Amino acid sequence: MSEEPDGATPLDPDEREGLRFKHVQTRGELDRLEQANIVDGLRWLNRQKTLDVLSDAFVYRLHKELFGQVWRWAGQRRQTEKNIGVAPHQVDVQLRNLLDNTRHQIDHKAYPPVELALRFHHRLVQIHVFPNGNGRHARIMTDALLRHCLHHPPIRWAGPTDDRDLQAAAAHRSAYIRALREADARNTAPLLKLFGGEPSRE
Ligand SMILES: Nc1ncnc2c1ncn2[C@@H]1O[C@H](COP(=O)(O)OP(=O)(O)OP(=O)(O)O)[C@@H](O)[C@H]1O
Ligand SMILES: [Mg+2]
């Protein structure tokens, strides 16, 4: 499948094996199947009365709800090296650290809510828990964190652009990936600027 978007993680042949629909030929078909699954996953999420967002069980369960109709490996952690992400055997411990640190930051009001959420988002995609779907999963995780732990409205991930303006959407996507790369280098300012976080006190 060609035409991977900027910053997307390519799949290994083994991971591709996990596709539940053998007829899929194009990126567009796959995107539509995944999108339909995500709609169901979001319905599941909205039905939950209480959520332990900062538990590893929830992180894995949410991925399964979002992608399990399309990928057999949904909800299971990555087994292979990618160009982004920690070594596969480090995923569990790094995820545990992130969840614990985030709990601590919330308890101590270490950052304003949106900044706290964006730092969480960046580290979650940087760990890259799954073979694919990390970006979408981590954006939904971040909104769940804002809603359930920080009592704050979600982030406008699509930006101010109209969905039908493909050029503006592509530019926004590139700015998002650039901002994540800056955050890899410990500069979170571009990510905060892009998604409306208040300036940091650092
Ligand atoms: N340099 C980087 N540092 C941290 N995270 C990154 C970096 N580059 C890309 N990412 C994240 O990885 C995601 C791509 O990973 P993956 O393909 O697993 O997710 P996806 O949900 O399939 O992608 P998409 O965001 O295109 O829907 C990007 O959306 C972004 O969130
Ligand atoms: Mg992808």
Decide whether any atom of ligand 1 lies within 6 Å of the 8 Cβ.
yes
| pLDDT given for residue 202 in this prediction | 46
DSSP class of residue 158 equals T
For 29-79, give the DSSP string. HHHHHHHHHHHHHHHHHHH-SS--TTSHHHHHHHHHHHHTTTBTTTTS---
Query: How much is the mean pLDDT over the chain?
Result: 92
Domains of the chain from N-terminus onward: 13-195 (1.10.3290.10)
Residues 6+ apart with CB under 8 A from 76: 60, 130
Q: pLDDT of 41-65, one tens digit each?
A: 999 999 998 899 999 999 999 999 9
How would residue 7 be classed by pLDDT, with cut points 50, 70 and 90?
A: confident
Span 183-191, average pLDDT = 97
Q: Taking the model in full, what pTM does it have?
A: 0.93
Decide whether any atom of ligand 1 lies within 6 Å of the 125 Cβ.
yes
- Reply yes or no on whether the pLDDT at 151 is more than 60: yes
Cβ 151 vs Cβ 129: under 8 Å: no
| Ion ligand 2 residues within 5 Å by Cβ | 8, 132
